[in-house]
Amino acid sequence: MPRGDSKQSWVVQPAIVRRASLWDGTLVERCADGDEQAWNALYSQYERAVRRFLTRLGVEQSALDDTCQDVFLSAFRSLSGFRGDCSFQSWLYRLCVTQARLARRRRRIYTLLTELLGRTPRPEATRGELAADRASRLVNEGLAQMTDSDRLAFVLYELEGLSGREAAQIAGCPEATLWRRLHYARKRFRDYIESQGVGT
C-alpha cells in the first residue's frame, strides 16, 4: 500500500472512535435519535444485566422492578450526555449505583417509619399509604420539627446507619448525650408522623 494511503488509514475521525468504544454504538445512536424500537431492543439487551447488578448492590427483590425501571428512565433522560468514553454497559452500571443507593435509602425510610410507629407494614404499603415519595416528604417534614442537635443525631444514626460512637464523634458530643438527643428526636418524629394520620 502506498505511504499516502497508509497515512490516510491512520486518520480516524473522533465520531468513529466514539462509536467504536460502544458495545453497540448503532443501537445507542438510534435511541438517542428517539427510535422507540431501538429503546425496546436496548432494554431487552441490558435488562437482565441491570437486574443482576442491582441485586448484587443490595436492592431487595420487592424493589427490583421499580429500581430497574428507574435506571432505564434515567438512561432515557441522560442519554444525550453519554459521550462514549466507556462502554454503554459501564455507563448504565453507573446509573445503577445511583438508583441502588436511592432504593436503599427509600427502604431505610420506610422501615424507620414502620418501626417508630410500632406497626407491621402492610404488603401494599410501599405502593399505597407509605409510597416512597410520600415517605420521603414525611421524613423531611418530621426532621423539620426537631432541634438542630436532635436532628443531627437522628440523621446520623437512623438514616445514615452510623453506630452511636461514630455519630457522637461527628456530632462532637459524648455518646450518652447522643442517645439522649436521639430519644427526643424519635419521640418528636413519631408524634409528627402520627399527627399526619399515617397508619391510623
> pLDDT digits over 53-112, tens only?
888 888 888 888 989 999 998 988 888 777 777 778 888 888 998 888 888 877 777 777
Q: Are 117 and 129 in contact (CB under 8 A)?
A: no
pLDDT band per the 50, 70, 90 thresholds, residue 48 = very high
Q: Are 157 and 129 in contact (CB under 8 A)?
A: no
Q: How far is CA 90 from the centre of its chain?
A: 16
Task: Tell me which residue of 95, 98, 102, 155 sits closest to 132, measured CA to CA.
Answer: 102
CATH fold for domain 110-195: Arc Repressor Mutant, subunit A (1.10.10)
CATH fold for domain 10-105: Rna Polymerase Sigma Factor; Chain: A (1.10.1740)
Q: What predicted TM-score, i.e. pTM, was given to this entire model?
A: 0.50
Which letter, b or e, does each residue of 112-137 get, where b requires 16 or more Cβ atoms within 10 Å of its Cβ?
Answer: bbbebbeeebeeebbeeebebeebee
Tell me the residue type at 103. A
pLDDT band per the 50, 70, 90 thresholds, residue 117 = low
| Ranges of each domain in the chain | 10-105, 110-195
The predicted pLDDT at position 110 comes to 74
Q: Are 131 and 142 in contact (CB under 8 A)?
A: no
CA–CA distance, 69 with 66 (Å, rounded to integer): 5
